[in-house]
Amino acid sequence: MTQKPISIRDFLRVPTGTEVYDALMQTIEPELVTANIKHLDHNHKNESKEQRAARYKRYEKAYAQYDSAFEKWLMQLSAAVGMFRRLALKTAEAKSRKAEGDAISTLESQLAAATPTHA
């Protein structure tokens, strides 16, 4: 299972827990996405005990894979948040430096205009 990295655009809207769960579980075991869980008993009403045991074992493996995928997603989210924080800080620093530079230029211009010239 390959997950795409989280971008800043993805970060602007934080998904709900259900959205995260469904997005990850869809690629692991589609029967276990939230919309399908309520239909499991009906969809498997005629299965044998052996089939049910095999399905439950498959689900157990799916949840273990989900836990791993969720941990990876959290790490990617943490990296994206860190990147966003660094970008915000870098942008604020650049604006501050520009404002300071503009203020210094204005002061230098005012000093130059106020300084008498000797001929």
pTM of the predicted model, to two decimals?
A: 0.65
Is residue 3 in a domain? Answer: no
Between residues 9 and 89, the one the model is more confident about: 89
Mean pLDDT of 31-55: 95
Range of the domain at 39: 8-114
Residue with the bigger pLDDT between 57 and 105: it is 57
In whole angstroms, what is the distance from residue 102 CA to residue 117 CA? 24
CB-based contact 35:81 (threshold 8 Å): no
Higher pLDDT, 113 or 4: 113
Q: Is residue 47 part of a domain?
A: yes
Q: What are phi and psi of 5, to 5 degrees?
A: -65, 150
Helix ranges (H only) for the chain are 8-11, 17-28, 34-37, 40-43, 49-114
- CA distances, 95 to each of 28, 64, 83, 90, 91 (Å): 45, 47, 18, 9, 6
Q: What three-state secondary structure class fits 38?
A: coil
Residue 101 has pLDDT above 70, yes or no: yes
Q: Is residue 81 assigned to a domain? A: yes
Smallest CA-to-CA distance from 27 within 80, 70, 56 is with 70
Q: How many domains, the chain?
A: 1
Q: What is the pLDDT of residues 18-33, one digit of tens each?
A: 999 999 999 999 999 9
**pLDDT of amino acid 86:** 87
Confidence of residue 105 (pLDDT cuts 50, 70, 90): confident
Determine, yes or no, domain membership for 2. no
3-state secondary structure (DSSP) of residue 110? helix
**Over residues 77-98, mean pLDDT:** 84
